[in-house]
Amino acid sequence: MDRICRGEDIPVSEEKLVREARTLYGLGCRYFHYHARNFTTREQTTENQVYAHIGRLVRSLCPEMLVSFGASRNGTEIMQDISRRGEWERVSQAAIPLPEGGAHFVTTQAAIELQIVCELERKLGYRLEANYVKSARFLEDIRTYTPSSHVESMALEINSTAHGGNYGSSSPAAQFEVYSRAIRARNDASLLHEVEWVQFARSFAMTRMAIERPEIGLGGNGRLNVTLLFGFSPRLPFPGTYAEFKSIVAAAKSLERDPVTGEKRRTVTISAGAAVLPQHAAQHVWELDVGPFRGEKACALRRLAAWAAQPDSDVDILRSGMEDTPYEMHLEKGLLPTSNARLCEIAAEEYLRNGAEVEVDHKAITARLGTAGCGRELNIFTVQTTKMFERTIATVAA
């Protein structure tokens, strides 16, 4: 347990990352999600040269791999970087052009940005709920909302190791500006928009606000990928049933349409991950409630894969990896050390045995995720996306 919680098995060095990328590529993984770490200290870092170096390496070794960079993280070195260079440091990797080692996707909304809707909750005087976010009243409230410049400590209620929910001090106005700047940078580089949900109603509200407020313009290029990180916080717990899972996916998919007219405005694709702490792993070994293996016990990752494999799941990317579940939960042996490659194998195995098939048509994948016009080097990289599971991509969080 100590070894797992300390992240001792997370690959950090260039050599290990390269070796692992090749292995994952061979397994059919075509979507690589990466949070940069200092090669020497192993601490998370905001240094763009680290992101760009790994981005170039992965795409040169695995030419059909889509790359996603994480953002909105915390940690000692990240907080030091922010104190020296400002809040933009947290998501500055969003501005790296693709030819210079940038990523097709960057999660420009993940955690600290929720300071905006936390303030909105205080101004409204009540807790945000999903039905309210879908209403015309919410649209009016966010149109008249002005984020304040009041700086305060930001600690989010999340399932994490020590101090994992502490994001330092910032203001809603600063987060609003950083979010806007990140989306402008993505647009300038002709790259895709991606957000991550960690607290269901708040994340839903923040995404809807970012779409509706013209200063941000999230999804204004007609495409948006939403990552649902089930289990990351008590406000987005890992679902107990497929029906619960589907209801949250449906909320994310509803962002495709204008909430008043119902007209389709953009295409929303869905990533689904199981972010379950090792000390909670055994609590999530439940019986499958859908598919040919209904009634069989399975861990959180296997249940997620089985759900994603269902024909009506609406999931496009199945996310697995050391960021979310840095262990293997074996039904007989219990908690085991693991690797990104092993977690990819587990996810794919469960996905495939639930009746899904492998998609090998790169044109279909390009059309699905909207990467056809991604970046200014389309004439060079024409096969960036090839193998993909029909309902989901096996994804790695490094």
Q: What is the pLDDT of residues 236-278, one digit of tens each?
A: 999 999 999 999 999 999 999 999 899 999 999 999 999 999 9
Q: What is the pLDDT of residues 112-124, one digit of tens each?
A: 999 999 999 999 9
CA 279 to mean position of chain CA atoms? 22
Q: What is the pLDDT of residues 19-31, one digit of tens each?
A: 999 999 988 889 9
Measured between alpha carbons, how far apart are the two ends of the chain, in Å? 19
Q: Where residue 387 sits, what CATH number does that domain have?
A: 3.20.20.70
CA atoms within 13 A on the CB side of 293: 19
Sign of CA dihedral 171, 173, 176, 180: negative
Judging by DSSP bridges, how do beta strands 317-321 and 358-359 pair with one another?
unpaired
Distance in angstroms (rounded) separating the CA atoms of residues 42 and 354: 37
Distance in angstroms (rounded) separating the CA atoms of residues 250 and 315: 10
pLDDT at 78 over 70: yes
Burial of 287 per CB tally in 10 Å (0-12, 13-18, 19+) = exposed
Question: Residue range 314-332: average pLDDT?
Answer: 94
Q: Tell me what pLDDT residue 317 has.
A: 92
Question: Residue range 389-397: average pLDDT?
Answer: 34
Specify the pTM: 0.91
Q: Tell me what pLDDT residue 189 has.
A: 95
Domain that holds residue 187: 2-397
Give the model's confidence band at 359: pLDDT under 50 very low, under 70 low, under 90 confident, else very high.
Answer: low
Distance in angstroms (rounded) separating the CA atoms of residues 2 and 279: 10
Q: Tell me what pLDDT residue 193 has.
A: 97
Note whether 36 and 93 are within 8 A (CB): yes
CB neighbourhood size of 343 (10 A): 26
- Number of domains comprising the chain: 1
Query: To the nearest whole number, what is the mean pLDDT of the chain?
Result: 89
Classified as helix, coil or strand, 261 is: coil
